[in-house]
Amino acid sequence: MSTTTLFFHSNIRLLRERRKFSQEDISEVLNLSRNKLQALESGKTKNPSAQDLIKFSEYFKVSVDTLLKVDLTKLGEFKLKELQSGNDVYMTGSQIRVLAITVDKENRENTEYVPIKAKAGYQAGYNDPQYLAALPRFSLPNLPERGTFRMFPTVGDSMLPIPEGSDVIAEYVQDWKNLKPETPCIVILKGNQDFVFKMVTVQNDSQLLLKSLNSLYQPFEVNSEDVLEIWKYYKHQTDTLPENETDLQQIKNLLVAVHSEVKKK
């Protein structure tokens, strides 16, 4: 059985330094001796007490789970600022994890590409910075500076007219409740399930409705506990040229236009 890597010592040092506090400052605020703080920050204390974990968690507004298991040095500047403002998703009771990312030499977030052959491994390694670092990564022009983006390939024709085999660039959704009904998203599912590209409607805290653009496919529901991540559609790229409209499509478009005009009168 592999040993879980803990990041408590490096995380509390990072959080202290980002606030430009000295060890003396934090020792006084948390009522710790400087020697004890030095031992905690250096990793010499292998098993911090529950009381110490809670002290640091409450002071920095970062959950114990995040302090222990998330390597904050791998998070980009935007995510760190969110944590420092008290938006740790564990602290606020959300099921959604703090997202692991990779950054370039300028500390700018990369856009990782998850090819089809990596889909199975993504479910196990989605929050593992080492796994993400092994994925192809690149920079795309004209992406918003705020937000985290990733690229996923589409499979099947359930989202036609977006062609099968398109690559979808999507933005990470931290709070699912902010999604508008029928928002196009990549949804990462647990276990033997796949990740899917669907129109997402959050029905309540426990269920999501997933709908295809192609009417041949029936909508279906998933439990929120079976969802690992949600990425909101931003744009897509494809090497497939759009087909010319058939006579049937032209007739359909004409009927829709006539129906719209009749409703206005």
Over residues 45-73, the mean pLDDT reads 87
In this prediction, residue 190 carries a pLDDT of: 82
In this prediction, residue 79 carries a pLDDT of: 72
Q: At what angle do helices 77-84 and 8-18 cross, to 10 degrees?
A: 80
* Residue-averaged pLDDT of the chain: 82
Q: Which residue has the higher pLDDT, 105 or 156?
A: 156
pLDDT above 70 covers a percentage of the chain that reads: 82
- Asked if pLDDT for residue 91 goes beyond 60, the answer is no
Over residues 104-129, the mean pLDDT reads 77
CA end-to-end distance (rounded Å), the chain: 72
How far apart CA 157 and CA 180 sit, in angstroms, is: 23
In this prediction, residue 130 carries a pLDDT of: 75
- Asked if pLDDT for residue 1 goes beyond 80, the answer is no
Over residues 145-174, the mean pLDDT reads 88
- Asked if pLDDT for residue 117 goes beyond 80, the answer is no
**Cβ atoms of residues 208 and 224 within 8 Å:** yes
In this prediction, residue 220 carries a pLDDT of: 94
How far apart CA 259 and CA 165 sit, in angstroms, is: 34
Q: Could you tell me which of 129, 165, 141 has the C-alpha nearest to residue 239?
A: 165
**Cβ atoms of residues 121 and 148 within 8 Å:** no
Lowest mean pLDDT among 33-37, 125-129, 185-189, 205-209: 125-129
Over residues 258-264, the mean pLDDT reads 69
- Asked if pLDDT for residue 94 goes beyond 60, the answer is no
In this prediction, residue 90 carries a pLDDT of: 56
Best mean pLDDT range from 14-23, 61-70, 129-138:
14-23
In this prediction, residue 96 carries a pLDDT of: 42
Summarize pLDDT for 12-25 with one digit per residue, the tens.
999 999 889 999 99
- Asked if pLDDT for residue 66 goes beyond 60, the answer is yes
Summarize pLDDT for 161-188 with one digit per residue, the tens.
888 889 999 998 877 878 899 999 999 8
Q: Which band of pLDDT confidence, cut at 50, 70 and 90, is reported for residue 265?
A: low
- Asked if pLDDT for residue 4 goes beyond 80, the answer is no
In this prediction, residue 209 carries a pLDDT of: 94
Q: Which residue has the higher pLDDT, 13 or 252?
A: 13
pTM for this one?
A: 0.58
Q: Which band of pLDDT confidence, cut at 50, 70 and 90, is reported for residue 95?
A: very low
- Asked if pLDDT for residue 93 goes beyond 70, the answer is no
